[in-house]
Each structure stands twice: as structure tokens, then as C-alpha cells.
């Protein structure tokens, strides 16, 4: 059974991540919010540290993915492993700055994709690579099954053609995990992911976007025109299994959605802590031993926001714990992402409202802008609710749209 307390063995990791967030991320947070598209050179010193934490097998403090444990029934008892550790570390780092975490070398969401579905040989070959993930296209947003980028086998290579938008770290990363279809007529089952390295002929970074939030990270538009990718760079199996359908590439989201939920929780906690400090300094007492309706209106609102945060936090820990303990977590991953994404937006905006921190004098203004993307990428609020409904009702994607 899940234990709601943070495992003691995660204490050192959490402390390291918190120190990095407090001593490096926070002091330069506003600097790179203003200097959009400038690479934060201060992050380089942390890349080796996080690489070591991730390669230890117990997970690091970045956004790198982790490999799901096998199904060996001989392994009994409660296990707190890499999934939970990465989530806990991500919360701390995003308490510092979510945009800077997304800018960390070799901690991209593409790394999570590789960690989820790559073969052992691919894991070794792509070790040390910084990988972005490219799914969204100009013609669709949240419906990942609508991928129109094509991959055609030609000898020892796949030839990719198409365009991808809103690719986090698309310009800075060493490679991009690209979702493409092998055969449009076969629907979702034909969608596969390919590791496309920078410098590959036919692969072009068209532009980087100016954004509302997470401005420290780069978000790019990519184009693939007769881009030849070695067939060994296809992640997972090349066979099109119509019975298994979309499950192969979608497994990636079971690992990345808890991470995005953790990012939201980190931002929400930062906003709540700063708001509590400001309210306390203004003479507003937040009393946990009295009913909310018997307190100052601002204190009552703060208690409501804090309860919302706690529920999102626990859902996220549950989804990561389930992955560590070999339990299917697709439903819980979507629940955590939906709850955390919605909560962080409301919490950040309400904190600005409660404190009046609408200018750049306070990081609350920045966190309110950063929060919105956490409710959008890796599947919007509406998509998560649709997935949850399908899982609970036992409906397929064709039966419940």
C-alpha cells in the first residue's frame, strides 16, 4: 500500500535539488525570463550532477525519464524507486524555476520517451544525448492520433516528411524524438517515434517562439523534408499491431505526465509559500486550528488553495509510486496531470490577486505566466479528463470522443 510520507532515502536527493533551486535557479529566474532565447550558461555545472543521479538507477532531479520496472512477480513489497525520485526532484527544481529546469541539458521530455520505450541497445547508444520531443503539428494540438508527419522505409533508412510545432528545447537539444506515421491508412497503430539527431540532412529548425511563460526555455518549429533517419533509430518495434493500437508510443505519457504534474506542483508550492509570507507580514494570520469561515477572508482563501495543492501533490505521488511498483498507471497519470495543471493555474492567479503582486517586483507575476503551459502541454485539461472518463467507463477512443 502507498505510504503518503516521503521516503527517507529520498531525503538527500530532495535536499540537493532544493539547494540547486534556491541558490542557482531563483537568483537568475527573472534574468532569463527577460532574456528570452538566451541559453542559461549557469546550468552547465549541474548537467554532470543530474547525469550521475539519473544513471544511478534511482532517478535524478531533472525531467529525464525513467525506465518502467519489469513484471517479475518474485519482487514483493513496497518499492520507492526512480519514478518517485524523479517526481520529488522535479518538484524541488520547479519550486526554483520551471523554465530553467526545461533548459537543463539532457533532461528533456525526449529523454523520457527514450527511457520509456527504447531497447537496451538504444539506451546505451543514446546515452548522454539531450533529446526534445516533437508531437504537435500545425493541423492538430491535443489529438496525438492525428499525426500526419510520415515515415517511409527506404532501404536502411526511414524518410521523414512533415512539420512539428511547440517543441520544447527544439533548438538547443542534440536530437528530437519525432512522432510519425508509417501508414496513414492503418490509423493510430502505425504511429511510431524516431530519434532524429541534429545535423541530419532535411532536418531544419524553422524558428523559435516568443512565449507567455517558461521564457528561459526555447520552443521551436521544426521541419522535416526527405529527412533520412537510420532505421535503428525507431524506438520500439517497427511492426504495426492494430490490436495493440496506439499503446506503444502512448506509454511515453504514462511516464511524462506525472513529471509535468510535478512541475505544476513545484510552481504552486512556490506561489503559496510567497503568498503566505506576504499575508503574514501584512498581519493576516492563517490558523490551521480554526474553521476557514471564522478567519480573515484572505486566510480562508489561502487554506482552500493549499488544500487543492495537497490533493494534486498526493495524486502525483500515487501515479509515480504505481509505476515503481509495476502497476498500470495510465488513469492515475492523467488524473494527476489534470488536477495539478488546473490547480497550479488557479493557485498562481489567486496568489497574485491576494497579494496584488502584478508587477515584476515579485516572482508571483512570473509564476502566474509560467503556470498556464503546465495545464496545456503533455495533453490539455480536456484531453486528460477524456482519458480519465474512458478509463473509468471502460470506453475506447472510438466510443467516447
Q: Which residues are catalytic?
A: 378
Structure letter (DSSP) for residue 42: G
Question: Quick check: helix, strand or coil at residue 334?
Answer: helix
Q: Are 255 and 83 in contact (CB under 8 A)?
A: yes
Cα distance between residue 207 and residue 209, in whole Å = 7
Cα distance between residue 140 and residue 165, in whole Å = 10
Total Cβ atoms within 10 A of residue 368: 25
Total Cβ atoms within 10 A of residue 355: 20
Q: Which of 302, 277, 273 is nearest to 287 (CA)?
A: 302
Q: Are 62 and 90 in contact (CB under 8 A)?
A: yes
Signed CA dihedral, 82, 85, 91, 96: sign only: negative
Question: Quick check: helix, strand or coil at residue 197?
Answer: strand
Greatest alpha-carbon pair distance for the chain in Å reads: 73
Q: Which residue has the cell 526554483?
A: 96
Q: Are 13 and 61 in contact (CB under 8 A)?
A: yes
Amino acid at each position: 500500500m502507498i505510504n503518503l510520507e516521503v521516503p527517507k532515502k529520498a531525503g538527500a536527493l530532495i535536499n540537493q535539488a532544493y539547494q540547486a533551486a534556491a541558490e542557482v535557479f531563483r537568483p537568475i529566474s527573472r534574468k532569463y525570463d527577460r532574456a528570452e532565447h538566451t541559453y542559461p550558461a549557469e546550468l552547465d555545472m549541474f548537467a554532470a550532477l543530474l547525469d550521475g543521479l539519473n544513471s544511478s538507477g534511482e532517478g535524478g532531479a531533472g525531467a529525464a525519464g525513467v525506465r518502467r520496472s519489469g513484471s517479475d512477480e518474485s519482487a514483493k513489497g513496497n518499492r520507492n524507486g526512480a519514478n518517485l525520485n524523479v517526481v520529488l526532484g522535479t518538484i524541488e527544481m520547479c519550486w526554483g524555476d520551471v523554465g530553467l529546469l526545461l533548459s537543463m541539458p539532457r533532461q528533456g521530455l525526449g529523454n523520457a520517451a527514450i527511457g520509456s520505450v527504447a531497447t537496451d541497445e538504444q539506451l546505451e547508444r543514446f546515452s548522454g544525448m539531450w533529446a526534445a520531443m516533437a508531437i504537435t503539428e500545425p493541423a492538430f494540438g491535443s489529438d496525438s492520433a492525428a499525426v500526419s508527419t510520415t515515415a517511409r522505409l527506404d532501404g536502411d533508412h526511414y524518410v521523414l516528411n512533415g512539420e512539428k510545432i511547440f517543441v520544447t528545447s527544439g533548438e538547443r537539444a542534440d536530437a528530437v524524438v519525432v512522432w510519425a506515421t508509417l501508414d496513414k491508412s492503418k490509423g493510430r497503430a502505425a504511429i511510431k517515434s524516431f530519434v532524429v539527431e541534429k545535423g541530419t540532412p532535411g532536418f531544419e529548425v524553422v524558428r523559435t517562439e516568443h512565449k507567455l511563460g517558461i521564457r528561459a526555455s526555447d520552443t521551436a518549429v521544426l521541419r522535416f523534408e526527405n529527412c533520412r533517419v537510420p532505421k535503428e533509430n525507431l524506438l520500439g518495434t517497427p511492426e504495426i499491431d492494430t490490436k495493440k493500437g496506439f499503446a506503444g508510443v502512448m506509454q511515453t505519457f504514462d511516464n511524462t505526465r506525472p513529471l509535468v504534474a510535478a512541475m505544476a506542483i513545484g510552481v504552486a508550492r512556490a506561489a503559496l509559500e510567497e503568498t503566505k509570507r506576504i499575508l503574514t507580514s501584512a498581519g493576516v494570520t492563517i490558523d490551521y486550528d480554526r474553521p476557514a469561515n471564522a478567519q480573515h477572508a484572505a486566510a480562508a482563501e489561502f487554506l482552500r488553495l493549499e488544500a487543492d495543492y495537497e490533493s494534486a501533490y498526493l495524486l502525483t505521488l500515487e501515479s509515480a509510486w504505481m509505476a515503481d511498483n509495476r502497476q498500470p498507471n495510465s488513469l492515475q497519470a492523467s488524473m494527476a496531470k489534470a488536477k495539478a495543471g488546473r490547480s497550479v493555474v488557479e493557485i498562481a492567479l489567486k496568489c497574485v490577486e491576494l497579494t496584488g503582486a502584478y508587477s515584476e517586483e515579485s516572482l508571483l507575476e512570473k509564476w502566474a505566466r509560467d503556470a498556464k503551459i503546465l495545464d496545456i502541454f503533455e495533453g490539455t485539461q480536456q484531453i486528460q479528463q477524456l482519458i480519465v472518463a474512458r478509463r473509468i467507463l471502460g470506453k475506447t477512443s472510438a466510443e467516447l470522443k
